[in-house]
Amino acid sequence: MHLNLETNRLIIRPISIDDHGFILKLVNTEGWLKYIGDMNVNNDQDAKNYIQKILDREGKGCFYGVFEDKHTKIPMGIVTFLNRETQAYPDMGFATLPQFEGFGYTLEASQAFLDKLLSDHNDISKIIAITKTDNLRSINLIKKLGFEYFDTDVMDHQLSIYMILKN
């Protein structure tokens, strides 16, 4: 799935190896480490390898989109769409560099991404979003996108699952 989207302020495009510097910063932010986990990406080569693994999974239910400022082309965050073997429905996610939080960029990118997914893919009837129960910023954004609380992960009571149904 290759999505290229444009909003009022952003461009959303597929991730590429050239994003290694941005990814190195993103996956080592305090928020990523606390709420997503340590990906052991410690240098540019690790970041390139991490991105290559993502690209190798593309077309197999994995998509990472980078959202960037439309004018400066500075990467700000990512939106993801993943088919996980452990979940019955595809999972949408997002992450943003801390300096770009609180300005509505993540909501803008995620809403455009979600709208495109739901309008273009008739085979998708439900999408989930998974977050830690104490990640209030993520939970608030998930709710703004129209997801509703669905369940708590049985295996890990620290993860809440939210679901959106296609109308």
Q: What pLDDT does residue 42 have?
A: 97
Burial class (CB in 10 A: 0-12, 13-18, 19+), 99: exposed
What's the CATH code of the domain at 22?
3.40.630.30
Q: Is the pLDDT of residue 141 over 80?
A: yes
Weakest-pLDDT range from 61-65, 86-90, 142-146: 86-90
For tokens 């999972």, name the residue.
91
Whole-prediction pTM? 0.90
Burial class (CB in 10 A: 0-12, 13-18, 19+), 53: exposed
Q: How confident is the model at residue 112 (pLDDT cuts 50, 70, 90)?
A: very high
Backbone angles phi, psi at 101, to 5 degrees: -75, 150
Q: Are 57 and 93 in contact (CB under 8 A)?
A: no
Number of domains making up the chain? 1
Work out the end-to-end distance of the chain between its first and last CA atoms, rounded to an integer number of angstroms: 22
Q: Are 141 and 107 in contact (CB under 8 A)?
A: yes
Task: Tell me, rounded to whole angstroms, the distance of Cα 118 from its chain centroid.
Answer: 16
Q: Are 117 and 128 in contact (CB under 8 A)?
A: no
Domain boundaries, position 74? 5-165
Backbone angles phi, psi at 28, to 5 degrees: -110, 10
| DSSP H or E segment with residue 100 | none
